[in-house]
């Protein structure tokens, strides 16, 4: 049968009676295929006893009803007392006298959002109890129970106690009011501003379900390159309607605040943060927002960066700007998340040093409801960066880590790149700020410096595409962000395992090989795009495809790699820009020394001769070529692997991934061939033996512009 007929056939029937389009994400609740397991699960959960009346409890009950119906083909009977074995009891000591009587000591450890799932005999009957101190905890526990069944784990005689390690776990949507999304590759914005607040798309509820299932509890719904209009009454009412949908799921709304809003929508002549009228304006604005959204989370601000307005326009500091907004929000318990992504568009000082230089000096100067939000690395979400030097350097300041879930620099929604290893690399990086073990995870959790608040943000990859994220595997990055925000200690492998089972199948002959590839996929992408610490050498207009030759005004690609006849890489050692001095001595000593630096960061910190002997025994040029070629061949191996998995999952998603892998392979080869030919003009050495030369000339690769790509 040819592929198109197969696709049509699959759309009609699919493997389970209908085509899988990815809309259900990891909340698919397909029947457990192992009959033995099904019988055991059915004996543990026969009926449900729910204590509590809130919308959150109703959401938990609904999810359990849908989930159990799908997984165990059983409609859960709702009861008001425990009269048989197999009762699933849900509630808090406040909503349930039965739970209160159990005096569950574990609840003292789980805080406001944690939960306990425990097998307990009550009145002589064996029950499964989901207990928490709050209804939100009960909701999180309900999702966890469902995930145990989805991933085929035992629910007999269990005792699971869990709570989040970070308080604010927030998605940052870069969505514009006209429906477009900056760096969004999965269609248009979910927020239908035109029809809000009257029409509440059911998708908003599914968005909230998906987020709650992984513990995300906040969402900034608009772009950091902000429009002041989102703070006008019309838009606040619309945002309030979204907040109402999200509230039962424990998700707070935040807004980005354009610093010049007092001028643009307030009719003032200035936005100077020390001007009394401006201060009053923001206070009134905060009061107004809270009148519509009583649990509003606060503001996210991009100030004095890439042309955005900010306090420096009035010769005021980041601290003066952030604190003024923080004062306006404080009476309502709101927070300011003030971004540390700042750099001069005009070339001057090493860009990697600028955020530290601007912010470090204000450590201790920020109000208690301010977070400073640096990206994971000092430049800009590159495939690999060293960790941001502000982590560890601002011990008196609450730092909110910002990851990018959308793949701006990692293949958009075309490349299969699982980001959990990147997240993990940052979270487990040791800053040595308070001696060995001062990891970024501990700093972000607020544990290292004992901060009152903690938070983490991820730039969302969600759009209007039917499967939410464009590439079916991009869902795993949304999922992984949520899981790691809840618990930064989780391993990328455990998360991938859960995600694959919940999203595709429990069949280990599918899960094992795909997981192996996912775990390595980010390294493969680094290799075929920017190996050995290279960065920012993509096409500077689109941020897609290779562009080490690109020139624009201000920063050119060449400034980031500095290739010349001698060698390649940026000298950031104490003999160069001295960016290494922004790190603590143990880290600095490692980064500063060419013999100690890991090869993955070599060219970030060192300008290295082409003939430099690497630990692999290859010279630098050979190593660069080796990495570019191995990145591409890894994608080719994955294509073979994927082809062998054809009948293990539904045909529609199988075919989607197959096609996308083919695109990824073509584009990986485009990256490799363009970059190798370009760097060869400096290295002036032939390709080492055994490598197939690029098919086209460097000029050809330089001319390729999206969407005319290499296959033309
Ligand atoms: C929202 C990079 C992106 C911009 C983005 C900016 C930021 O420069 O290319 O699109 O703007 O980061 O994080 O503010």
Instruction: Give the end of a domain, one of 115, 130, 162.
Output: 162
Q: Does 92 share its domain with 146?
A: yes
Q: Rounded distance, CA 497 to CA 153, Å?
A: 12
Mean pLDDT of 156-168: 98
**Position 590 in a domain:** no
Cα-to-centroid distance, 183 and ligand 1 (Å): 8
Classify residue 379: in a domain, yes or no. yes
Rounded CA Rg of the chain = 26
Q: What is the mean pLDDT of residues 313-319?
A: 98
CATH number where 321 lies: 3.20.20.80
Q: Answer yes or no: is pLDDT of 320 > 50.
A: yes
Predicted local distance difference test score (pLDDT) of residue 345: 67
**Residue 9: what pLDDT?**
47
Is 347 within the bounds of a domain?
A: yes
CATH code for position 39: 3.30.379.10
- Final residue of a structural domain among 162, 194, 217: 162
Taking alpha carbons only, the member of 200, 266, 206 closest to residue 231 is 266
Q: What is the mean pLDDT of the chain?
A: 96
Catalytic residue among 175, 358, 408, 465: 408
H helical segments located in 530-580: 557-561
The residue among 447, 469, 503 that closes a domain is: 503
The residues near 183 (Cβ < 8 Å, ≥ 6 apart) are 174, 404, 406, 408, 459, 543
Q: If you average pLDDT over residues 640-664, what whole number do you get?
A: 97
pLDDT tens digits along 55-65: 999 999 999 99
Protein residues with CB under 6 Å of any ligand 1 atom:
174, 182-183, 224-225, 302, 306, 341, 380, 408
Q: What is the DSSP-derived secondary structure letter of residue 217?
A: -
Residue 194 shares a structural domain with residue 112: no
Least confident of 6-20, 76-90, 248-262, 589-603: 6-20
User: Is 673 an active-site residue?
Assistant: no
Residues 320 and 367 reside in one and the same domain? yes
Please report which residue ranges of 224-317 form alpha helices under DSSP H: 233-246, 261-264, 276-292
Closest atom of ligand 1 relative to the 375 alpha carbon: 13
101-130 residue pLDDT tens: 999 999 999 999 999 999 999 999 999 999
CA distance 338 to 398: 11
Between 17 and 322, whose confidence is greater? 322
Same domain (yes/no): 416, 281 = yes
Percent pLDDT > 90 in the chain is 94
Query: For this structure, is 306 an active site residue?
Result: yes
Mean pLDDT, residues 429-445: 98
Segment 312-330 shows an average pLDDT of 98
Determine if the pTM surpasses 0.75.
yes
HSE of 54, CA atoms in CB hemisphere, 13 A: 19
Q: Going by CA atoms, what residue is nearest to atom 2 of ligand 1? A: 380
Does residue 521 belong to any structural domain of this protein?
A: no
| Pair (216, 139) in one structural domain | no
**282 domain-assigned:** yes
**Does residue 445 sit in the same domain as residue 394?**
yes
Looking at the fold, whether 150 and 194 belong to one and the same domain comes out as no
132 close to 110: Cβ distance less than 8 angstroms? yes
DSSP one-letter code for 418: -
- Asked if 246 contacts 191 with a C-beta cutoff of 8 angstroms, the reply is no
Residue 73 has a CB neighbour count (10 Å cut-off) of 11
| Structure-model confidence comparison of residues 456 and 344, the more confident one | 456
Please state the atom number of ligand 1 nearest to the C-alpha of residue 408.
Answer: 9
Asked whether residue 189 falls in the same domain as residue 257, the answer is: yes
Say if 555 falls within a structural domain: yes
pLDDT in tens, 390-425: 999 999 999 999 999 999 999 999 999 999 999 999
**CA–CA separation, 545 vs 711, rounded Å?**
13
- The pLDDT assigned to 7 comes to 47
CA distance 706 to 710: 9
Is 380 part of the annotated catalytic residue set?
Answer: yes
From 312, 308, 325, 201, select the one nearest 264 (Cα to Cα).
308
CA of 525 to the centre of ligand 1 (A): 21
For residue 359, what pLDDT is reported? 98
DSSP-derived secondary structure letter, 578? -
Whether 649 maps to a domain, the answer reads yes
Q: How far is the CA of 327 from the centre of ligand 1 (A)?
A: 27
Give the Å distance between the CA of 380 and the centre of ligand 1: 8
Q: Which domain holds residue 66?
A: 31-162
DSSP string, 132-191: -SSHHHHHHHHHHHHHHHHTT---SS-EEEE--SSSEEEEE--B-TTS-BTT--SSS-S-
Burial of 664 (0-12, 13-18, 19+ CB in 10 A): buried
Report the pLDDT value the prediction gives residue 708, as an integer from 0 to 100: 59
Smallest Cα–Cα separation from 425: which of 562, 275, 600, 273?
600
Of ligand 1's listed atoms, the one at least distance from the Cα of 543 is 9
Give the confidence band of 18 by pLDDT, cuts at 50, 70, 90. Answer: low
Q: Which atom of ligand 1 is nearest to the CA of 302?
A: 14
Q: Looking at the structure, tell me whether residues 136 and 174 fall in a common domain.
A: no
Question: Looking at the domain assignment, is residue 598 inside a domain?
Answer: no
| Number of independent structural domains in the chain | 3
> Is residue 151 domain-shared with residue 172, that is, in the same domain?
no
Are residue 149 and residue 196 in the same domain, yes or no?
no
**Which is the catalytic residue, given 34, 53, 277, 306?**
306
Write the pLDDT tens digit of every residue in 337-361. Answer: 999 999 876 677 899 999 999 999 9
For ligand 1, mutation pick of 380, 412, 555 (most atoms within 8 Å of CB):
380
Q: What is the C-alpha to C-alpha distance for residues 497 and 513, in angstroms, rounded to an integer?
A: 11
Which helix (DSSP H) or strand (DSSP E) does residue 705 occupy?
A: none
Rounded Cα distance, 41 and 391, in Å: 45
Cis peptide before 207 (omega within 30 of 0): no
* CATH code where residue 687 lies: 3.90.1330.10
Using alpha carbons only, what angle is made at residue 577 by residues 574 and 583, rounded to the nearest 5 degrees? 60
What is the reported pLDDT for 10? 44
Are 143 and 177 contained in the same domain?
Answer: no
């Amino acid at each position: 049968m040819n592929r198109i007929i197969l696709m049509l056939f699959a759309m009609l029937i699919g493997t389970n009676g209908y085509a899988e389009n990815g809309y259900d994400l990891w909340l698919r609740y397909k029947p457990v295929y192992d009959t033995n397991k099904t019988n055991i699960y059915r004996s543990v959960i026969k009926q449900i006893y729910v204590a509590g009346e809130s919308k959150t409890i109703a959401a938990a009950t609904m999810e359990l009803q849908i989930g159990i119906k799908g997984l165990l083909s059983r409609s859960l009977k709702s009861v008001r007392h425990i009269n048989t074995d197999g009762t699933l009891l849900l509630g808090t000591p406040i909503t349930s006298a039965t739970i209160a009587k159990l005096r569950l000591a574990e609840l003292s450890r789980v805080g406001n959002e944690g939960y306990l799932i425990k097998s307990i005999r009550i009145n002589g009957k064996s029950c499964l109890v989901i207990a928490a101190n709050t209804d939100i905890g009960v909701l999180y526990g309900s999702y966890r129970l469902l995930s145990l069944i989805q991933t085929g784990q035992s629910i007999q005689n269990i005792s699971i106690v869990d709570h989040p390690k970070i308080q604010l776990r927030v998605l940052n949507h870069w969505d514009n009011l006209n429906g477009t999304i900056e760096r969004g590759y999965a269609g248009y914005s979910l927020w239908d501003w035109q029809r809000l607040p009257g029409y509440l798309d059911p998708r908003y509820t599914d968005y909230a379900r998906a987020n709650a299932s992984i513990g995300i509890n906040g969402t900034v719904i608009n772009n950091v390159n902000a429009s002041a209009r989102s703070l006008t009454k019309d838009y606040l009412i619309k945002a309030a309607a979204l907040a109402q949908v999200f509230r039962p799921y424990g998700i707070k709304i935040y807004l980005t605040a354009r610093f010049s809003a007092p001028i643009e929508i307030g009719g003032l002549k200035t936005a100077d943060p020390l001007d009394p009228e401006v201060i009053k304006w923001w206070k009134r604005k905060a009061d107004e927002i809270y009148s519509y959204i009583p649990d509003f989370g606060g503001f996210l601000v991009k100030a004095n960066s890439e042309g955005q307005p900010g306090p420096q326009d009035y010769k005021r500091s980041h601290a003066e700007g952030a604190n003024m907004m923080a004062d306006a929000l404080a009476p309502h318990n709101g927070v300011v998340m003030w971004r540390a992504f700042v750099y001069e568009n005009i070339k001057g000082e090493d860009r990697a040093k600028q955020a530290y230089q601007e912010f470090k000096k204000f450590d201790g100067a920020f109000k208690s409801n301010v977070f400073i939000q640096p990206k994971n690395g000092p430049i800009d979400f590159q495939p690999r960066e060293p960790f941001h030097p502000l982590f560890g350097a601002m011990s008196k300041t609450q730092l909110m880590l910002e990851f990018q879930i959308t793949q701006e620099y990692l293949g958009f929604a075309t490349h299969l790149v699982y980001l959990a290893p990147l997240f993990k690399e940052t979270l487990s990086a040791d800053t040595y700020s308070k001696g060995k073990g001062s990891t970024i995870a501990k700093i972000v959790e607020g544990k290292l410096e004992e901060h009152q608040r903690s938070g983490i943000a991820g730039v969302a990859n969600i759009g209007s595409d039917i499967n939410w994220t464009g590439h079916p595997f991009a869902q795993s990055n949304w999922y992984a962000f949520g899981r790691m925000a809840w618990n930064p200690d989780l391993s990328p492998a455990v998360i991938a395992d859960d995600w694959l089972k919940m999203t595709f199948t429990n069949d280990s002959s599918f899960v094992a090989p795909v997981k192996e590839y996912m775990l390595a996929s980010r390294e493969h992408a680094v290799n075929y795009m920017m190996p050995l610490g290279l960065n920012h050498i993509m096409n500077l207009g689109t941020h897609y495809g290779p562009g080490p030759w690109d020139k624009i005004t201000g920063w050119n690609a060449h400034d980031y790699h500095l290739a010349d006849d001698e060698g390649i890489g940026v000298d950031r050692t104490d003999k160069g820009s001295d960016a290494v001095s922004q790190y603590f001595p143990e880290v600095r000593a490692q980064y500063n020394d060419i013999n100690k630096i890991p090869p993955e960061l070599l060219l970030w910190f060192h300008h290295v001769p082409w003939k430099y002997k690497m630990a692999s025994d290859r010279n630098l040029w050979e190593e660069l070529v080796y990495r570019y070629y191995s990145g591409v061949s890894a994608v080719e191996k994955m294509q073979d692997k994927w082809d062998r998995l054809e009948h293990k999952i539904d045909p529609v998603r199988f075919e989607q991934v197959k096609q996308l892998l083919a695109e990824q392979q073509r584009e990986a080869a485009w990256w490799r061939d363009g970059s190798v030919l370009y760097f060869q003009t400096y290295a002036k050495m032939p390709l080492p033996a055994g490598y197939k030369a690029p098919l086209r000339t460097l000029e050809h690769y330089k001319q390729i512009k999206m969407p005319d790509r290499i296959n033309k």
